[in-house]
Amino acid sequence: MDQKHELLKQYFGYTDFREGQESIINELLNGRDALCIMPTGAGKSICYQIPALMLEGITLVVSPLISLMNDQVSLLTQVGVRAAYLNSSLTLGQYHRVLGNIANGQYKIVYVAPERLMTEEFLRLCRRIHISLVAVDEAHCVSQWGQDFRPSYLKILEFIESLDIRPTVGAFTATATQKIREDIVDILRLQEPFTITTGFDRPNLFFSVIRTKPKNAQLLKLMAERREKSGIIYCATRKKVEQVCALLCENGYAATRYHAGLSEQERRQNQADFVYDAKNVMVATNAFGMGIDKSNVSYVIHYNMPKNIESYYQEAGRAGRDGEEAECILMYGASDVHTNELLITHSAPNPELEEERQEAVRRLEYDRLKHMTFYCTTNDCLRGFILKYFGEKPKNYCGKCANCLTQYETIDATVPAQKILSCVIRAGQRYGRRMIADILLGRQNERLTYLGLDKLTTYGIMKDTSQKALHDMMTCLEEEGYLFTTGGEYPILKVAPSCTALLKGETTFTIKVPKEKQSSEEKKFRRPSKASEEYAVDQELFQQLKVLRRELADKARVPSYIIFSNITLNDMCRKRPTTVTEFLSVSGVGQQKLERYGEDFMSLIRRYQEEHGEE
């Protein structure tokens, strides 16, 4: 095992890197700048935390939000990494203590608010110490094209350039638009950065759009099915937040609220209630969220449609960060479009931008709103729609969104598949897709007749099929490996050996096809299939582990997910570790967590085993 993997296990308790992580780490270790675009929850932090542990000197992480920094530092401290933050939540005394500790080389990782970078005291200190890496978290905040633009982020470059030795710079974001990407590279002056964009898919999220009215009744129905779970409900306005929160409280839900109209103190209190699970529902405007690391959010409901797909995916993506199955539900009403149009038209001018740029940004906003609306009205796969928006090429059926479950059906297509395959064979495996389709559909064309292909027994045997359906079927046959196309200027369709079984009828062939057009009213909302069913764990044990986690969290004064994620507790239920080695094999358990909490959890499990017999 190399050092990277050792550190991953020792500190974070994971055995394998996720997509993209290892290559980013390698590049940063080699001193190359990097731009890393990964969706929320994909694991960006580890990409700079592991290099931070391996490199000499310290790593500075520039981060826009206090809550985010505090959370990350708690997490790191819990796993035994010496880390600290510098932001306005510290008293002057604490601030100086941290600066002193930095000077003494006490920390490997320091989180800094961007506006602190150019303060004289901090700069003086930074010139004396060895900074090996500067990681810019939420790097899209440098771009004026996005909605999260923070003028203080423009100071980062100035800071980097004022150091005697330029550290390696890594920029991290979940925002994928090309313009913003270019801005990050330009504004931070990344030097030939290694750039990586991992897939934007979040396989554990289930997507749905609900168009039934009235919304309140619909919401209560959704809530009743999710009573025990923790979730966020986003509303477009403060007023709506107040109404919805009151509605839920009246109906016996432990709901709290968050919007910019509340006092700073109340916001902080409400956020803490939610993060520490004292209240399990948060009703909020989009002011709530960036930097909320609460990983056990199991649903995000949008009471109103947000203004664009970027915002939607970011907000909805706060569900299931622990990797558990989670749901993203959008309640769409036509008036949401109008509200958003007004918001764009009347948005306060950004004093940082010239009039012309302002107008361009506004046009872009309208365009984005249009796509958001399309998402709400499409009958196509919702996940596919989002991924395409971010420039990916997803399959047109994901099987895990409301549209795939209600708008598509599985049909047996063995017979048409046999027809297609035998046509390819009869025609001597010499023609491309178009010609094969023409033969099957019984079309006339000069070349076809000249070649005598209209004499084939397969000529016209699919004349009742639509051209599109036929092409879709051919695509499926290719995807399943029954057919393949040769390369070159004139690609030729050929059959693969596996087609024999299908032709003999020894196997069957099914495809997903869109159902006949349904009106939107008929479009029913369905709960996700319980994909985790096969992994169902002993709920009683799981509950006991949760109670223990809660006690330990209260004692340590941290949110429970900082102790262990639900994924880790689930894994414990499955593995029921009673020895140190077994405990270490649980995903999310590293050395520190073993030492701190291992005994508590293992004795609970032992006791449980004795009481329940060792099935």
The conformational region for residue 174 under phi > 0 = left, psi -120 to 50 = alpha, else beta, is alpha
584 exposure class (CB count in 10 Å sphere: 0-12, 13-18, 19+): middle
What amino acid occupies position 574?
R
Q: Does 291 bind ligand ADP (CB under 6 A)?
A: no
Instruction: Please tell me whether residue 43 binds ligand ADP under the rule CB under 6 A.
Output: yes
Beta carbon nearer to ligand ADP, 46 or 309: 46
∠ CA 460-465-467 to the nearest 5 degrees?
95
45 binds, among Zn ion, ligand ADP, none (CB under 5 to 8 A by kind): ligand ADP
Q: At its nearest, how many Å lie between Zn ion and the CB of residue 568?
A: 29
**Site for ligand ADP, residues 2 to 21, rule: CB under 6 A:** 14, 16-18, 21
The one among 7, 28, 38, 404 contacting ligand ADP by CB under 6 A: 38
Distances in Å between the Cα of 13 and the Cα atoms of 110, 422, 429, 595 are 22, 54, 53, 12
User: CB of residue 14 vs ligand ADP: minimum separation in angstroms?
Assistant: 4
Task: Count the neighbouring beta carbons within 10 Å of the beta carbon of residue 53.
Answer: 19
Residues 539-568: x/- map of binding to ligand ADP (CB under 6 A)? --------------------------x---
The residue number whose beta carbon is nearest to ligand ADP equals 43
64 is an interface residue for ligand ADP by CB under 6 A: no
Closest approach, Cβ 47 to ligand ADP, in A, equals 8
* Token pair for 113: 């608010």
CA distance 399 to 584: 35
CA distance 292 to 280: 14
Give the Cβ contact number of residue 260 at 10 Å: 10
Q: Toward Zn ion, which CB reaches closer, 397 or 564?
A: 397
Which entry of ligand ADP, Zn ion, none binds 14, CB below 5 to 8 A by partner kind?
Answer: ligand ADP
Smaller CB separation from Zn ion, 205 or 235: 205
If one asks whether residue 63 binds ligand ADP (CB under 6 A), the answer comes out as no
The reply on whether position 51 binds ligand ADP by CB under 6 A is no
Q: Edge-to-edge strand order for the sheet containing 205-210? A: 205-210, 326-331, 299-302, 231-234, 281-284, 255-258
Rounded to whole angstroms, how far apart are CA atoms 571 and 432? Answer: 50
Question: Taking the complex as a whole, how short is the minimal distance between the CB of residue 137 and ligand ADP, in angstroms?
Answer: 8
- Does residue 295 interact with ligand ADP by CB under 6 A? yes
* Contact residues for 580 (Cβ-Cβ < 8 A; gap 6+): 594, 598
Give me the phi and psi of 597, to 5 degrees please. -120, -10
What is each CA distance from 224 to 70, 333, 355, 484, in whole angstroms? 33, 21, 48, 49
Smallest separation, CB 18 to ligand ADP (Å): 4
Provide the minimum distance between the beta carbon of 205 and ligand ADP in the complex, in angstroms, as a whole number: 13
User: Cβ 23 to ligand ADP, closest distance in Å?
Assistant: 13
398 binds, among Zn ion, ligand ADP, none (CB under 5 to 8 A by kind): Zn ion
Residues that bind ligand ADP (CB under 6 A): 14, 16-18, 21, 38, 40-46, 295, 321-322, 565
